[in-house]
Amino acid sequence: MKMSFRWFGSSDPVSLAYIRQIPGVTHIVSAIYDEPVGAVWPLAKVEALKQQIEDAGLAFELVESVPVHEDIKLGRDSRDQLIANYQQTLRHLATAGVQVVCYNFMPVFDWTRTELAKQLPDGSTCLAFDSRMADSIDAEKGISLPGWDSSYRSDELQGLLQAYRQVDAEQLWQNLAYFLQAVIPVAEECGIKMAIHPDDPPRPIFGLPRIVKNRDDLARIVDLIDSPANGLTLCSGSLGAGPQNNVEALVREFGGRGRIHFAHIRNVKVSPDGDFEETAHLSTCGSLDIAAIVKAYHDVGFEGYVRPDHGRMIWGETGKPGYGLYDRALGAVYINGLWEAVDKFSAAQQDSAAPAAL
C-alpha cells in the first residue's frame, strides 16, 4: 500500500513541506488545474509539477483527475477530437512517470453536497448531504448549492441539463464504452492504469443519469474491457453513502480481481433516508467499519495507492472544505496504523502456523 495525499498545486494553503511531515505519506495526488477541460496537458507543465513535488521529497505517480469533457459523455460529434486530446495527455503523463489516472463519468457535477460546513457536536465542521433539500430543487429554475455557483454560468448549466434530457442511463453507458474502447489501448501502451471514480453520492440527482453507483455498475465497467488498465478508484465515502453498498465486500471482490488501482478511504454517517455527513475516519465515528475495509485491502494483497479522502475542518483551520491538513493527516496516520496492525498480526499468525524445525 502506498499512502498518498491530495494537493491542489501552488495555490493550495496546505504546503508540500507540511504534507512531507505526515508519517507514512510518500506520494502526492495532483493535477494540472489551469488547462481547459478537453485540452491536452502540456508535457512541460506535467514535468514541472513532478519536479516541484519531487523537490519536496515526495513522489508523483498518480493524477486526480483528468476530467472527461461533457461532449464525450453526451456523445457529441466533437468527442473524437476530445478523446484524441485525452489520449495525448495520457502519453505526456506516462512520460513523466504517472502510473494511475483517476477520472469520473458523472454528468455535469462530479460531487454534490447541500452543506459545506455542517457543525458537528465536537465543534468541527464537515461536508453534508440532505436528500430532501436536493430533491426539492427544480433544476429548470436554477440550482444554487455550495461549491457549484462558480462552476457554470446559468445559461451554460441550463444548456447542459437540457442536453442530458436526451441521454438516459443506457446511452451514457454506451458513451462510456466508446470512451474506454479508445482510451484503454493507449493506457495499456503507456503503462497507465485508468481508475474510474464512483458517483458521489451514488443516487440520481436532478434527473441526470448515474451509472457508477453500486456493485453491478462496477462489475459492468470492468467487464466492458477486460484489461488491468481498466480499473477502479474505490471510494469508501462515495459508495458508502449508499446503504445498499457493502464496501468491505466490494474491496474483496474487485481488489481480489486486481481491478482497484486507487483507494479513497473515508467514513460517512448515513441515515436510512439517504442523508449523510462526512465524519472522522475512525470506525466508531461513522457508519463504515474502516478497520474491516483496511483489513480487506490487506487480505487481497492490495499494492496500489491509497489516500485519506475528505476530512473535517478542525482546530480552527480554514480553506477548501473537506481538504484541510489536520483531519486528513489524522486519517492517513489512522489508516497506516490499521495497516501495520493487520500486517504484523497476519505475519504472527503465519509464524505460529509454520511447522516447527526439526
C-alpha grid cell, residue 254:
474487485
Dist CA 270 CA 44 (whole Å): 44
Dist CA 166 CA 160 (whole Å): 10
In three-state secondary structure terms, 262 is strand
Give the single-character DSSP code of 201. S
Residues facing 233 on adjacent strands: 262
Bridge-based pairing of strands 276-278 and 268-270 is antiparallel
Instruction: Identify which of 131, 132, 157 has the alpha carbon closest to the alpha carbon of residue 144.
Output: 157
Q: Which amino acid would we find at residue 315? A: W
Residues facing 6 on adjacent strands: 29
Dist CA 268 CA 272 (whole Å): 13
Contact call for residues 269 and 314 (beta carbons, < 8 A): no
> Who contacts 182 (Cβ-Cβ below 8 Å, separation ≥6)?
83, 87
Dist CA 354 CA 348 (whole Å): 10
**Chain centroid to CA 341:** 25
Number of C-alpha atoms within 13 angstroms, CB side, residue 54? Answer: 11
In three-state secondary structure terms, 177 is helix
Residues forming the active site: 197, 235, 264, 309-310, 323
